Each structure stands twice: as C-alpha cells, then as structure tokens.
Amino acid sequence: MHRGFYSVVVVSLFFVVYLVTAQKVWAAQLTSASDTISTSRPSASAVLNTDQAANATTISVIDLGSSNGLMYIASDSATFWAGTGETTDYNIKYVASSSAQIAGTPNTRNIYFTGSNTIPHAHHKGDAVSVPITAMHKIVFTTATTLPSGGKILITFPTLSSGDANSAASPSASTFQLNGLSDTNIKAFSGSSALTFTGSYTNPSSGTSPVITLGSLGSSITAGTTVTIYIGCSAAAAVAKCDTQVPTVINPTKNAATGTADSWRVQIDTQDGSSNPYDTGKVKIDTIESVQVYATVEPSLTFTIAGENSGTDYHTISTSCASETSNTGINSTPTVVNLGTLTNGTTSHIGQTLTISTNGASGYALTATSSGRLIDVATGFWIPDANGGTGLTANDTPIPAAMTTGTAAFGISPCGAHVPTSTPNWGGTSGVINSGGTSTALFSNPWNTSGNGYYATLASYTGGPISGDITVMRYAGTVSGTTPPGIYSTVLTYVATATF
C-alpha cells in the first residue's frame, strides 16, 4: 500500500511540472495579423563605373540587373556617397532618365540629371549611388493571450545575408534597415487606447535580423484585443490613422525578376517582462517596382495678327492702352495698314491686334524690324522716322520718341499689358496719340542698315505659360507743308519667340 501511494504521487508531480513549462515552450498564434507599408517601392543602389567630375549631368554606373534595382533611380532623387577626401552629395533631385542596360564588362547604365540639378562635387569610381526608399509600417494583430503590464512586443525582420551591407549608402538586398528609428517615431495602441513603451532597436550584423522591441508596456493587453503599431509615425491622435508620417525604415532593393514582387516575412511576438513567450505570428509583405509613367507635352506657340476697324478705341482692345480712337477712315487687315492721305496739321493712326499664346516656361518676347524708312520709291523721298534716327545701331535702339503733329514723322508704338516701360520705353499705359499737338505715346521706325539684324522689343513676358496675350500695334504718321507728294511705304516684320 505504501509503495503504490508513492507511485501515484510521482505521476501527479510530473503532470504538474509539464503544465507549467508548456506556456514557455508553446506560444499561442496571433490572429488577424498584417503589416501594411506606405510604399512598396524597392530601394536602389549602384556604384560609379568611372570617376565623376563636379557638376556632371550624366553618370555611368555598374548595372547588376534586378539585384540592385538600378533602373528605379530614374525620376527620383539620388545620394552620392563620399569616398576618402570627398563630400557626400545628398538628394540630387530630378533624375531626368536612365538609359537601357549597356552590355559590356561590366554591364553599365547611364543616369541623366537635369541641367539645374548637377552633382556639385567630384566622386571616385566605386563610390556608391543610392536611392533609399523609406516606408511607414502599420502593424495590426489581435492577441490570443492576455499580455501582462510590463510585457514586450517584438517585430523581427528578415535575416541580413552574409556580405549584405546595412547602411543607407547601400540599401540591403536581404532585409529592411531600421535607419536610426527611435521611440518618437513609433505610435502604439491597445484597442483605441495609446500604449506606452520603451523601445530598443537592434541593427543586424551578418546572419542576424533587425529587431524592434517595444518593452515595459504601460498596461496589460487582454486576450482578443486589437493592437495597432505605426512604425515611422511621429503623431497619431487616434488609432484610426497616423497624423504625421515620418517614414524611416528602408525598403530592400529589388531581387525578383522585373514585374514580380519580392516577398518578405516579418515575425511578431509578445512576451512577458522576463522574455517568456506568449503569442507569435508571421506576416508577409511584398515590395515591387513602381511603374514609370512618361508623357510628352509639345512646345506650343501661336501668334496671330488681326486688322482693326477705323474708329476703334484702342482701350476696348486692351485695357492697358489709353482710350483713343483710330482715325484713318480705312480699316487695317492682317497684312495691310493704310494710313490714308496724310495732311499737314493732323496725325493719322490705325491699329492691329497681335495675340500670343505659349506654354513656354519663361514666356515669350515680341520683336519688330522695319525694311527701312517710309519711302516713296519712285522719287526717293522719305518721311523721317519719328525717333529721328537713321536705323538700328543695336538691339532696342534708337530709343522711341514723341511725335509732333505738323513735323513730318512715321513710326509704330505698342501698348498692352507687357509692353516695356523701361528701355525701350514705349510710353507705358498712358501714352496717347494727340492729333492736335505732341503725343505722349512714343514712336520708332526700327530698321536695319547693312543687314545687321538688330531688332526692337515691343512686348515680353517671363512669367511662364500665357494664353491670349494682346499687344495693340499702333501705326501713325504726320507730314509738314513741304513733304513731297507720293505713295510712301515700308514693311514691318514681327517675330514672336517663346522661351521653353
């Protein structure tokens, strides 16, 4: 009897010990676990194939194919990492494009930058060029076991492969990089309540994994509670969303074939304060190349010249012109301006409407040249230029001058929103043609001698694309009592130039 009793006691003790140790060995499975990243785009990295001079707009890099995702540098910013005695150039933006892979030993690819975003410093062959793509991670899971206050939540990323770097200069091909992650950039919630913690962050060496540990949890988490963790978030007023994202964790580079996602496993564990396991779960996240979208917008420039009826108030064509009515009695057309019969004591004037539209990034310029003086080719007599000059001696000269009725003169005068009011000053918005005396509008006949190709600027705009911009071109002439009779003519040529 005594011996049988002893055997029963031994069996009971063994059973009790087994129950106590089972909780440490067998963790419950987390449910509804997920990791959503704010961008699935892979990072990219390469090394320079040749020395690169300062202010370069094109570089040659070694292309290892899909293993470094080099093609995804295009259309983004890039960092050029410094070698010995060099300076790192951060965030060189506006990568214009990249070439296709250039076969050779090694294979290479050219990367092109826009002219306004050159690489300021020189870099050696072999220096790293990278685009580390950072993302915010939103991790959600439901606990299976009540986690006591003071417990831990561990988030473990894939293992860093042998020989794979762990620095922003060379984004990893095998795991995510924590990249200076700190407590201030993590927000955690137990249900709808903020969860306090003390974090520790393990950056891997070869053969180990990056680990985020949220320890010393400020409250217990009961079984069946949804836990939400934002990694790369500096402000979240409620569990529903991150209010201020600060993406920090660096995505791996591309490994799979083009068009196929790389799949990564992230492990989530809960433990008590003594590191005894409670719940565990694994989630998968994919990274895949972004889709590059290209479109071409053709440069555009439209320029029209329209005639105006005699008796039209220039101010009704453009409010930047003074109120004054043309008086020749003959309507102008897009190709002919007839000042009618000029008589002593009056100034005849008529207008045309010049309209420009362009998508030029720096607007446009409107210039004019004349074939020569307003001349009677049958007799060789001419009506003097209003400005009293003998042709253009440089761009925008001679300076326009006023026209006085009864003193023989001919010239053109623009008015409009973008007519210059400094050299050459055409009278700004207040210039008018006064048939009874001296005008306040300024006139010039801009013609060249000896084919020198100078011009007068009538209007210009540098603010970017513009549509339907109007310049009113006014033609005026007056004669004296001694001006010989005849038919006088000249030819004006207008050029609209868009700046792209």
Tell whether omega for the bond before 106 is within 30 degrees of 0, i.e. cis. yes
Structure confidence at residue 482 as a pLDDT band (50, 70, 90):
very high
Structure confidence at residue 409 as a pLDDT band (50, 70, 90):
very high
**Domain range annotation of the chain:** 27-40+134-287, 44-131, 301-498
* Number of neighbouring beta carbons within 10 Å of residue 430: 11
Residue 210 corresponds to which tokens in the numbers above?
A: 């990056």
Give 174-226 pLDDT, tens digit per residue.
999 998 899 999 999 999 999 999 999 988 888 899 999 999 999 999 999 99
d(CA 358, CA 210): 54
Q: Could you identify the residue written with the tokens 């009961």? A: 222
- With contact defined as beta carbons under 8 Å apart, do 443 and 411 qualify? yes
Please give the DSSP secondary-structure letter assigned to residue 440. Answer: E
d(CA 352, CA 490): 16
Give 281-340 pLDDT, tens digit per residue.
999 999 998 777 778 899 999 999 999 999 999 999 999 998 999 999 999 999 999 999
476, with CB counted inside 10 A (0-12, 13-18, 19+), is buried
CATH number of the structural domain 27-40+134-287: 2.60.40
Structure confidence at residue 15 as a pLDDT band (50, 70, 90):
very low
Instruction: Give the strand pairing for 128-131 and 78-80.
Output: antiparallel
440, with CB counted inside 10 A (0-12, 13-18, 19+), is middle
* Number of neighbouring beta carbons within 10 Å of residue 24: 13
Give pLDDT, residue 296: 87
- With contact defined as beta carbons under 8 Å apart, do 195 and 189 qualify? yes
Residue 10 corresponds to which tokens in the numbers above?
A: 């031994």
Give 172-186 pLDDT, tens digit per residue.
889 999 988 999 999
Q: Distance from CA of residue 3 to its chain's centroid? A: 88
d(CA 263, CA 37): 13
Give pLDDT, residue 429: 54
Give whole-number Cα distances, 386 to 410, 439, 479, in Å: 5, 11, 11
- At residue 141, the 3 state secondary structure works out as strand
Give 108-132 pLDDT, tens digit per residue.
888 887 766 678 889 999 888 888 8
- Spatial neighbors of 194 by CB under 8 A, at least 6 apart, are 187, 188
Give pLDDT, residue 24: 43
d(CA 499, CA 323): 32
Pick 272 or 64 by higher pLDDT: 272
Give pLDDT, residue 458: 95
Please give the DSSP secondary-structure letter assigned to residue 73. Answer: G
Tell whether omega for the bond before 204 is within 30 degrees of 0, i.e. cis. no
Tell me the pLDDT of the chain averaged across its residues. Answer: 87
Give pLDDT, residue 21: 37
Structure confidence at residue 16 as a pLDDT band (50, 70, 90):
very low
Give pLDDT, residue 22: 37
pLDDT at 258 over 90: no
| Phi, psi of 44, rounded to the nearest 5 degrees | -140, 145
The pLDDT > 90 percentage for the chain reads 59
Beta bridge partners of 101: none
Provide the whole-model pTM: 0.66
Structure confidence at residue 153 as a pLDDT band (50, 70, 90):
very high
